[in-house]
């Protein structure tokens, strides 16, 4: 009798552990999802893209240095005649119409999965925003230097 009870408990424990590994996504995108590079937690920026330092410089000029891997975003300062490195994050815009801000908060660790390609990315949410009638967005601590969009389903899991 004790053996049967012990086996039943072990089986229940194994099933419970397996169920935790197959968590359901908190959010699945519908329609177009846009990925945009943002400077800090502000929004879009314009910069010169080149593997070579720009010849003409002015204070505040942004240069995406593509000479290495990874790329580096640099800002020119006339006062010290040099470049400083800037922090670039990724803004992801969904057409969830007010749903997303209620599901996530700044500081959440997430995993995003492109259901079409199987690509997975882990990140931390820095900003959550949006409106009930248009688009919602999150800003994550992932650097993306190429703006793009996809119609593939993007599933977001909380870690």
Q: Per residue in 26-44, pLDDT tens?
A: 899 888 898 887 776 555 5
Residues 6+ apart with CB under 8 A from 6: none
pLDDT of res. 111: 93
Q: Per-residue confidence at 18, pLDDT binned at 50, 70, 90? A: very low
Mean pLDDT (the chain) is 78
Gyration radius from the chain CA atoms = 22
pLDDT of res. 45: 59
Measured in degrees and rounded to the nearest 5, phi and psi for residue 94 equal -120, 155
143/92: higher pLDDT: 92
Whether the per-residue pLDDT at 143 is higher than 50: the answer is yes
**What are the structural domain ranges in the chain?**
23-40+88-158, 48-85
Q: Per residue in 43-85, pLDDT tens?
A: 555 678 889 999 999 998 888 888 877 778 888 999 999 999 8
Q: Read off the pTM.
A: 0.67
pLDDT of res. 14: 40
63/14: higher pLDDT: 63
Q: Per residue in 87-106, pLDDT tens?
A: 888 888 888 877 888 888 88
Q: Are 129 and 112 in contact (CB under 8 A)?
A: no
Q: Per-residue confidence at 145, pLDDT binned at 50, 70, 90? A: low
**136, 140, 143, 146 alpha-carbon torsion, rounded to 10°:** -10
Q: Which of 103, 156, 101, 108 is nearest to 130 (CA)?
A: 101
Highest CATH level, class, for 23-40+88-158: mainly beta
């Amino acid at each position: 009798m004790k053996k049967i009870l012990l086996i039943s408990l072990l089986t229940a424990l194994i099933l419970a552990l397996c169920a935790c590994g197959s968590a359901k996504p908190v959010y699945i995108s519908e329609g177009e999802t846009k990925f945009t590079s943002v400077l800090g937690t502000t929004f879009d920026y314009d910069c010169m893209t080149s593997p070579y330092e720009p010849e003409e410089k002015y204070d505040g000029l942004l240069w995406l240095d593509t000479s290495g891997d990874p790329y580096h975003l640099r800002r020119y300062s006339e006062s010290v005649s040099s470049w400083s490195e800037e922090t670039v994050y990724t803004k992801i815009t969904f057409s969830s119409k007010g749903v997303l801000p209620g599901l996530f908060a700044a500081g959440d660790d997430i995993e995003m999965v492109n259901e079409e390609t199987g690509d997975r990315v882990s990140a931390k949410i820095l900003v959550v925003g949006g409106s009930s009638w248009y688009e919602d967005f999150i800003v994550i601590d992932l650097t993306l230097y190429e703006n793009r969009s996809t119609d593939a389903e993007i599933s977001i899991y909380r870690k």
